[in-house]
Structure 1
Amino acid sequence: MADIISNLPDSILCVLSKHWNLLSRSVTSMDFDYHGGDHGADRWEDRWGDEKACSRFVSSAYFFLLRRRHKDPSFHRFRLRFKSCYNHGEINTLIKHAMQISRRRLQHLDLNLHLFIEVPFFVFRCKTLVVLKLSHLVLKNIFFVNLPLLKTLHLNSVISIKCQDLLQQFLSRSPNLEDLVVQNFIVKNSVANTNTAEKLYRLFKLVTANVDLHLVPLEIVKNVKVLMTDTVCQQDLVFDLQNLVQFVWTQLLPIHQWLLVLEVLRHCPKLQTLANFIQFLKPMKKNQFCHAYFLFPTCLSSHLKSCCLHNYRGSVFEFKFAEYIMQNAKYLRTMKFCFDISTHPYDNSLRRE
């Protein structure tokens, strides 16, 4: 794209610069983005970028924040994307300055960093935060969490080091959570609590959850309307998911557990949308599938409107399950098949003898 602004007359640029200078002071959202290089490259220098360029980025971000320190109104949103092996200490300090300059009015914090960058502990004592998104970073020696206004919490590829029951603290001390993501949350040098459900408050306001059920028990998210997960166990199904209307389920199952699919649906009486990524460790034989009417899910006869089978390959189970859904879901409007183009066991995956 051509640089049109640089071709403007100096007189116009002078007027615009004065206007932008004033306008920048009223900005309530800060967004900094630095990607150090091509992470798929072979050479170290190409993969992580130029150290000088990284330093310039950090210095520019510092300068912009410091200009707002005294006279300008505080900002409410801070987003930082930083992918480089350089200047990790400076990035930690930059986050501290951002928290201080926001004058304890920060509502939205979004950090996607390098896995070796630690987040300052006082981030988790910011009582004004409404949205907290953390990705690809380290949480170390965090012993206290207090986020009373938090409504959105995303923890993606986060490493917890020497933090006792950190995940439990996040959930039990954020009573207003509505949107929760917990994926690839790794605990190191800490004692993880195995009785999470007993120590957590019930998240009654939670609406959407994308979680690993090994980390966040199903009982904690049982009131949600939208659930995405890659693991459901038979022993978890001791109650119904009464509010669930949309379910995205990805799981690899042994062939003898195929009835678990229907069992899960039986516990979702109001389900309207199902996106299924179920695959089996071994192919199913034709005589292994029965319609299992004794497990007939209520949602099929009264609510299910949309069903999507992802990575469809035309296996016995996939074909029979699709047939089962279409024959029994009275209000079904959409049946979608997303094919796995990497493998084609049949000439036409939608046709079988």
Structure 2
Amino acid sequence: VATSVLSKRWNLLWCSVPSLDFDIVDEDFWSRNDENTYNTFYSSVCSFLASHGDKPFYKIRLRCYISMHITESMKTQIQTALSGSCSVQIVDLYCNWEDFVIPSLVFSFKTLVILKLKYITLEDVSFVDLPQLKILHLENIISLTEIDLSQLLSGCPNLEKLQVRDLACEAKGKIIRLPKLVRVSIDKPLLPLEIFKDVEVLKFYYVMPIFQSNLYVNFDFHNLVRLQMSVEVDWLPILKVLNHCPKLQSLLICIDKRYEEEGVWPYPQNFPARISSHLKTCRLIE
């Protein structure tokens, strides 16, 4: 560390910091194409991990791109840090590295509050026990075993914010309620919407016809104020869900015209009537 030149006391402080927090997901940083800068960054990460020893972390945050400077030793150090931090509260990893697999025990850290994983390979998520987890982000995930999304969520009973994108998964298990869930962003409605009935914000990135049956509901989203969906062909039946959103204030529908037949859009015969009283913003984007 540069400040250690000023005083040897900085070395002790450096080793005692309970957080691993390095972030270089920055286009300006990588556009410099400076080998010395890359090497310095990854050397700093390795040096910090080595000096920290086996002391547990309360926060592990590492966001960086793939690089020739990432060694197998560095991957092992991070895996060891994760395995030895059973009392960690925050895990935020954005590591597009080949053959980097995080240990499955991360999904059983009982103190974990925030878990964000992007461009990560998972070892196994067949057992999930995250009683304190409030925020879960999973994006561009590769799993060595099949992921059952309903089973995964059942291990997060206090979840408040959920974001899932580009996650190869199924939904085979028992449907559970997440009463504290308020914000959801998810690729597609794999699960029946009843699991999200209490949310305030709901976003689907990609609604294909095969999943539209999960959008037919017989209950109301009493708390939903913002709804966003990206759709393709035959999307008008989706509007029926709006009859069950009595407090909706913002509606955004993004239409993928690549799959839409040319011509005039058909006018819906039964346009939802219940959205008029509270709706402030309605947008259709193609």
The two structures share one fold, judged by TM-score above 0.5: yes
CA deviation vs aligned residue, 1:286-326 (integer Å, no higher than 9, x gap): 7x426x3x4433121x2112233334xxxxxxxxxxxxxxx
Q: How many residues align?
A: 274
Q: Structure 1 279/58 Cα, relative in aligned 2: closer, same or farther at 3 Å? A: closer
Q: Provide closer, same or farther for how the CA distance between residues 122 and 92 of structure 1 changes in structure 2, counting only shifts above 3 A.
A: farther
Alignment of 1:119 with 2:102, yes or no, is yes
Q: 1:263 to 1:100 in 2, by over 3 A?
A: closer
CA distance in 1, matches of 2:59, 2:275: 41
Which residue of the partner structure matches residue 242 of structure 1? 222
Root mean square deviation of aligned Cα: 3.4
Return closer, same or farther for 1:93/1:268 CA change in 2, 3 Å cut-off. same
In structure 1, the residue matched to 2:243 is 266
Of residues 180, 187, 212, the one that matches 1:233 is 212
1:289 maps to 2:267: yes
Cα deviations by residue, 1:250-298 (Å, 9 ceiling, x for unpaired): 11123xx43x253232221110111221345023437x426x3x44331
Q: Which residue of 2 aligns with 1:161?
A: 144
Which of 60, 81, 85 is matched with 2:44 structurally?
Answer: 60
Cα gap change, 1:178/1:215 in structure 2, threshold over 3 Å: closer, same or farther?
same
Q: State how 1:25-174 maps to structure 2 within 5 Å.
A: 27-33=17-23, 57-69=41-53, 75-84=57-66, 86=68, 87=70, 89-99=72-82, 102=85, 104-114=86-96, 116=98, 117-163=100-146, 165-174=147-156
Describe how 1:294-313 pairs up with structure 2 within 5 A: 294-300=270-276, 302-311=277-286
Structure 1 pair 269/115, CA: closer, same or farther in 2 (3 Å)? Answer: farther
Describe the SS at the equivalent of 1:143.
Answer: coil
Question: Once structures 1 and 2 are overlaid, which stretch shifts more, 22-31 or 138-147?
Answer: 22-31
Task: From the superposition, tell whether residues 235 and 110 of structure 1 become closer, same or farther in structure 2 (CA, over 3 Å).
Answer: closer
Alpha-carbon separation, structure 2, partners of 1:251 and 1:225? 21
Q: Note closer, same or farther for the CA distance 1:55–1:36 as it changes in structure 2 (3 Å cut).
A: farther
- 3-state SS, counterpart of residue 87 of structure 2: coil
| 1:185 counterpart (143, 146, 167) | 167
- Cα distance in 2 for residues equivalent to 1:213 and 1:123: 25
Decide which moves more: 142-151 or 26-35: 26-35
Determine if the alignment matches structure 1 residue 202 to structure 2 residue 177.
Answer: yes
Match of 1:276 in 2: 253
Rg larger in structure: 1
Change (3 A) 1:75 1:267: same
Listed as ranges, the gaps of 5+ residues in structure 2 are: none
Q: CA deviation at 1:224?
A: 0.9
Counting aligned pairs with the same residue, the percent is: 37
Q: Relative contact order: is structure 1 or structure 2 higher (C-alpha 8 Å, sep ≥ 6)?
A: 2
Equivalent position amino acid for 1:213 in 2: K
Structure 2 counterpart SS, 1:299: coil
CA separation in 2, counterparts of 1:143 and 1:296?
41
